[in-house]
A and B are shown apart, each in its own frame.
Chain A
């Protein structure tokens, strides 16, 4: 007889892992807690009954009644939690499946538009090109949204521990900057990096940290200035930042240094900034600040939520300071490995 499946069924930790919920929200764990509570109540009510009620038959009846009521209550509670947990698991699974299914036709669409834009199928007029670009841009937006949803769904369902390895944050940042160089140039943005000498290696999940830096860098470039941004009367071209009527270039400064037992990463831009009243919501899912929406910059409102969850999952902290029309500084820390 195979004991492994029986053990798996009895192991509440593996049962709870299936739902991707913390232990105290897990129906199986709740069932065990309610069981212990019921047993404790049986003994307590028996002790109290035996002390104050002389007829043993009434004591037994009372204990039996209390046990039955508690049993029904615990059954109803655990059943409700199980239904909720199952619904939550199915929701995440649904997002996961749908996201994959949606991606394929979107890739087809984007690649087909790329083919049309390339002009290999015949010359295209300027007006047609403009609309092909709108198609491509919106396809990419949807792909980005789906990717973010997938990341969140994975984060919520799998709750996987980071796959930690030793890596150089400085090398990773430089690699990501060189990838983003063309994107930054299209926004007329200059990226500067300042790193302390002899930075220690970090011990963490490279792919997760890469995702965070990519998001922060992408935001810093995008929100330096949207492709067309109306300030008062008139529309300004790519990368022009207009602040109090003065035009200035986009600039991003990245600093990395050691601070106590952490590595400190900071990315500073002189872009749109975040209005004071929006700042408390900035790490919430799907939140986009009023000025970012007004400026028609692309974004799903999920990037910073992902950054916060990821950094915290890797044992670090994340924060920012920002002033509207002056710029923002986002930072995060990651703990150094204890040798």
Chain B
């Protein structure tokens, strides 16, 4: 079973989308802010490392762009695919996230949860 780290400050969305991910047979690790997200992305020896990270950009403590930058700078986490899942849709945000190493950029408002699950499957297959 593949593990997904879901870094999202909206607990309601964590809960709702978590149901869809569970139904699609994924194991979920949740983080409600950037700081916890970074810790969970690179757990101490013996901990389960995620196969994919779903990352929101507007996050407390450490924002999504900084989380992404830290993930891609760390040798342990740089190969984990990161899907940005946000409601920011400015072209400058999209370009910045892609430049920092995001695999895909999804604007929540444009997708249904099923479509996001399909995108996750596609990224994991390609990896």
- Chain A interface (Cβ within 8 Å of chain B)? 100, 103-108, 110-112, 114-115, 120-121, 143, 146-147, 150, 154, 163, 207
Contact = CB atoms under 8 A, between A and B. Distances in A.
Interface of B: 10, 12-13, 16-17, 19-20, 23, 58, 87-91, 108-109, 112-114
A108 B13 contact: yes
Contacts of A110: 112
A103 B108 contact: yes
Contact of A108 (B10, B23, B89, B91): B10
A114 B113 contact: yes
Given A104-B87, A107-B109, A111-B13, 10 more contacts: A104-B13, A104-B108, A105-B12, A108-B16, A110-B112, A111-B17, A112-B16, A115-B16, A115-B113, A120-B19
Main secondary structure of the interface of B (DSSP, over half): helix
B113 A104 contact: no
B10 A104 contact: yes
Contacts of B20: 111, 115
A106 B12 CA distance: 11
A128 B52 CA distance: 36
A106 B114 CA distance: 17
A191 B91 CA distance: 30
Contacts of A121: 19
Given A103-B108, A147-B109, A111 B16 contact: yes
Contacts of A114: 112-114
Nearest to B56: A104
A107 B19 CA distance: 15
A204 to B, nearest CB: 15
A319 to B, nearest CB: 28
B99 to A, nearest CB: 15
B39 to A, nearest CB: 24
Nearest to B88: A100
Contacts of A163: 91
29 contacts: A100-B58, A100-B87, A100-B88, A103-B108, A103-B109, A104-B13, A105-B12, A107-B13, A107-B87, A107-B108, A107-B109, A108-B13, A108-B16, A111-B17, A111-B20, A111-B112, A111-B113, A112-B12, A112-B16, A114-B113, A114-B114, A115-B16, A115-B19, A115-B20, A115-B113, A120-B19, A147-B109, A150-B89, A154-B90
Contacts of B91: 163, 207
A191 to B, nearest CB: 21
A47 B4 CA distance: 81
A308 B108 CA distance: 27
A154 B88 CA distance: 13
Contacts of A111: 13, 16-17, 20, 112-113
A175 to B, nearest CB: 15
A143 B16 contact: no
Contacts of B23: 120
Contacts of B12: 105, 108, 112
A143 B109 contact: yes
A207 to B, nearest CB: 7
Nearest to B13: A108
Nearest to B23: A120
A232 B118 CA distance: 45
A78 B110 CA distance: 43
A114 B19 CA distance: 11
Nearest to A100: B87
B86 to A, nearest CB: 9
A287 B91 CA distance: 28
B80 to A, nearest CB: 24
Contacts of A100: 58, 87-88
Given A114-B112, A114-B113, A103 B16 contact: no
